[in-house]
Structure 1
Amino acid sequence: MFSFIQLQADTLANAASNVVVEKVATTNNEISVLEFIFKGGFFLIPIAILLFYTFYVIIERYLYINKKAKVDPLLMRDVKDHLTSGNFELARSITERTNTASGNVIKEGITLIGRPIAEIESNMDRAADIEIAEMEQHLGQLGLIAGIAPTLGFIGTISGVIKIFYSISVTENISIGNISGGLYEKMISSGSGLIVGIIAYSAYHLLNGKIDNYALKVQKQILEFVNIIQKA
């Protein structure tokens, strides 16, 4: 009986020691997120550069569009009051103080008062198109990055797979560990490229949505301005 109990105790002790060893091994195999990313290979460098440039374009364009696309709801009311009273210079000075795209478009219309309505409206439309084109600057680069970044990641993965099969042909080692270990490292580049592409693609459409929203508002303002000078 005593020997049976001792045997059970030794078995439990061995099991516990195996669990400890396994936990230690698991802990030793853990790597940090940064180390995990760096395993992606050379193609992570251009992908990282594209990521930083994407954030730069997003922030710069967002701040610019947010500033220029502001529409002051009181602007047209003040312009209407001054135009009705014949204070054209004062009306133009109000549009200059706003420092917005809408102000520049209305200023163009005020400058042409006295010309045919069709000419005024046409010039205001051209002024609005110029303002919209300035807002759209560099947005095409986000669309380009949305296509390039995933492609670079895919090329990085293909390059890694080629290296794995070359290593197998040289060493004749077809172990699962050799294949999967090298493959998961190269898949990091594909994942990174897709993430950068998604960020650039989403920002491209969100910023274009803000510009489209402004374009609708400025067309309403042009129509309102034309109605004001027709009644004045």
Structure 2
Amino acid sequence: MLLTELTQTLFAQIATPTVTTNDLEFSFWKIMFHGGIFAKIVMATVILLGVFSVYLFFERFFYIKRLTSKTDSDFMNNIEDFIKEGKIESAADYCKRQNSPEGRILEKGISRLGRPVSDIVSAMESQAQVEVANMEKNLNLLAVVPSIAPMLGLLGTVIGMIIAFFNLSHATGSFSPKTLSEGIYTALGQTAVGLAVAIPANFFYNLLLTRIDKFVLKSQNMSGEFLDLINKPL
């Protein structure tokens, strides 16, 4: 009889563990910076990479937007009028006043009128490459963030797991799940932050590339219109 009562009491204690959840509050910020000095360094580095990627995105975005919005809507029509009237210098001056990538590209072509078409095309292509290079300035740094941030997060995760199991192997007395769980959720938080930084950075990078590709297509169409114009019989 006594053995039966002890068994029932033991099973009751196992089935209803005493866990206090009143003071339990999930804080991702605490998880991020929970751990040793190495975990804090990794977290700070990943966050700085995230801030850096946001700065680069907005700096390049507004720079490209400012450059591509300077050209007049009737730019090609005015160039056509100048060419038809034989006002080559006026057309070149008009391109300079635009102070835009499109204007500089056409200025190179206008300055070489009278030469073979291959020279005109080469001059405009060279200027277009210069304009694209200016737009892509520091864009390679933004492309590095989606690669480095997850790797840093993974490094922090691996080191965190190593530390967690190291502490567990040297723990004395009865085993407590808290000893292992703290190390695990701290380590996984490193990976989560790395991915949280890498995903927007990758989106920013591809968005800027899309805008640059649109400019390249626009400049190619404009160069084609200009070549058709100068080769059109009067």
Counterpart in 2 of 1:80?
A: 80
Counterpart in 2 of 1:65?
A: 64
Aligned residue pairs, count? 210
- Give how far 1:97 is off: 2.4
Q: Do the aligned partners of residues 126 and 72 (structure 1) sit closer, same or farther apart at CA in structure 2, a change above 3 Å counting?
A: same
CA distance in 2, matches of 1:46, 1:32: 20
CA distance in 2, matches of 1:157, 1:73: 54
Confirm or deny that 1:34 pairs with 2:33: no
Counterpart in 2 of 1:52?
A: 51
Q: Which moved more, 1:63-72 or 1:97-106?
A: 63-72
- Give how far 1:215 is off: 0.7
Which structure has the highest helix share of the two?
Answer: 1
- Give how far 1:49 is off: 1.3
SS at match of 1:51: helix
After superposition, residues 186-201 of structure 1 pair within 5 angstroms as 186-201=187-202
After superposition, residues 147-226 of structure 1 pair within 5 angstroms as 147-172=147-172, 174-226=175-227
Confirm or deny that 1:94 pairs with 2:94: yes
Q: Do the aligned partners of residues 203 and 76 (structure 1) sit closer, same or farther apart at CA in structure 2, a change above 3 Å counting?
A: same
Q: Do the aligned partners of residues 89 and 27 (structure 1) sit closer, same or farther apart at CA in structure 2, a change above 3 Å counting?
A: farther
CA distance in 1, matches of 2:205, 2:175: 44
8 Å CA contact retained: 2:50, 2:197: yes
Q: Do the aligned partners of residues 62 and 27 (structure 1) sit closer, same or farther apart at CA in structure 2, a change above 3 Å counting?
A: farther
8 Å CA contact retained: 1:80, 1:228: yes
8 Å CA contact retained: 1:88, 1:110: yes
- Give how far 1:174 is off: 3.9
8 Å CA contact retained: 1:39, 1:186: no
Structure 1 letter corresponding to 2:25: E
CA offset digits 1:150-191 (Å, max 9, x no partner):
000000011111111111111146432221122112211111
8 Å CA contact retained: 2:167, 2:179: no
Q: Do the aligned partners of residues 27 and 92 (structure 1) sit closer, same or farther apart at CA in structure 2, a change above 3 Å counting?
A: farther
8 Å CA contact retained: 1:79, 1:91: yes
Mark the runs of 5 or more structure 1 residues left unpaired by the alignment.
1-21
Structure 1 letter corresponding to 2:127: A
8 Å CA contact retained: 1:156, 1:186: yes
8 Å CA contact retained: 2:68, 2:215: yes
CA offset digits 1:95-153 (Å, max 9, x no partner):
22222211110111111112111210111011111111221121211221111100000
Q: Which moved more, 1:43-52 or 1:64-73?
A: 64-73
Query: For the aligned residues, what is the CA RMSD?
Result: 2.1
SS at match of 1:30: coil
What is the percent sequence identity of the aligned residues?
32
After superposition, residues 17-32 of structure 1 pair within 5 angstroms as 26-30=21-25, 32=27
TM-score using structure 2 length = 0.82
CA distance in 2, matches of 1:150, 1:213: 30
8 Å CA contact retained: 2:31, 2:185: no
CA distance in 2, matches of 1:120, 1:206: 32
TM-score using structure 1 length = 0.83
Mark the runs of 5 or more structure 2 residues left unpaired by the alignment.
1-18
Structure 1 letter corresponding to 2:80: K
CA distance in 1, matches of 2:177, 2:155: 23
CA distance in 1, matches of 2:98, 2:43: 44
